[in-house]
Amino acid sequence: MRWFTITMTTSSPTEMQRDYIKEYSPSLGRDMELLHFGHSGRPLLVFPTSQGRFYQWEDFGLVGALADFIDAGRVQLVCVDSVDGESWYAKEKHPADRVKRHLQYEAYLLNEVLPRMPGGVPVACGASFGALHAVLLAVRHPTRVGGFIGLSGAYDTSRWLDGYHDDSVYYTNLVEFLPGLTDESYLGPLRAQNPKVIATGEQDANVEDSVKVGRLLQDKGVQVGLDIWSGWAHDWPYWKDMMRKYLS
């Protein structure tokens, strides 16, 4: 079943199609919300910034910045909610429980969102903490995601885990597991993804994370576009320009 049989749609023939969906998630044990924009085209799975909400890209003008792409039927956006406040940022929880909650969120995406994406296999997109979600999902599940665009990301997840380490921590940290990744069942589909973009500003506090992950992927034969913009570039006006560039 597609979402559109149960959505609240707010559009007219002269407006961008906008669908609001709220459903109970078995993976997370609570209601989850999302927004869908557009009527056809390649789907973008859109993540908000740290602890952000599903309506963030709309509120900060990124949906509007892509309106011509959406109206022309080139792309459609599925903007998901986050549970970062229950996972990586939940300092009151043991680090193992933070990672467990993230993996439940990943299960929500894999089992409840991706199978019902309109238009096929999506490109995962996100800025700041959303870039981590986008690139991590694409690398961990390269047959389920068709590409990624990570903007101004912070990719070393160890910084949110207070020194704790186990296998789940290892496999959710790109800078840890990528150096040892040799399995062609992962690398082959990952190389085939398109687009593959990691972009940030030269003065971004996390620029080293972007460079490191980009080069780790390139070392595996994954032809990532590692694009370093001048200045800080960690803000919505830059991200609007970046998305337009990488979707053109």
Three-class secondary structure of residue 98 per DSSP: helix
Low-confidence spans in the chain with pLDDT less than 70: 1-14
Identify which of 123, 118, 16, 11 has the alpha carbon closest to the alpha carbon of residue 68.
16
- Predicted pLDDT at 114: 98
Non-local CB neighbours of 61 within 8 Å, separated by 6+ positions: 236, 240
- Predicted pLDDT at 218: 98
Identify which of 27, 84, 28 has the alpha carbon closest to the alpha carbon of residue 56.
84
Alpha-carbon dihedral 88, 210, 223, 131, rounded to 10 degrees: 40
Q: How far apart are the first and last CA of the chain?
A: 31
- Predicted pLDDT at 3: 52
- DSSP collapsed to 3 states, 127-167: ECHHHHHHHHHHHHCCCCCCEEEEECCCCCHHHHCCCCCCH
C-alpha span between 217 and 209 (Å, rounded): 12
The fold of the 3-247 domain, in CATH, is Rossmann fold (3.40.50)
Token duo for residue 33? 């919300």
C-alpha span between 149 and 247 (Å, rounded): 9
Encoded amino acid at 175, one letter: V
Length of the chain measured in residues: 248
Token duo for residue 68? 């011509």
pLDDT tens, residue by residue, 151-192: 999 999 999 999 999 999 999 999 999 999 999 999 999 999
- Predicted pLDDT at 15: 84
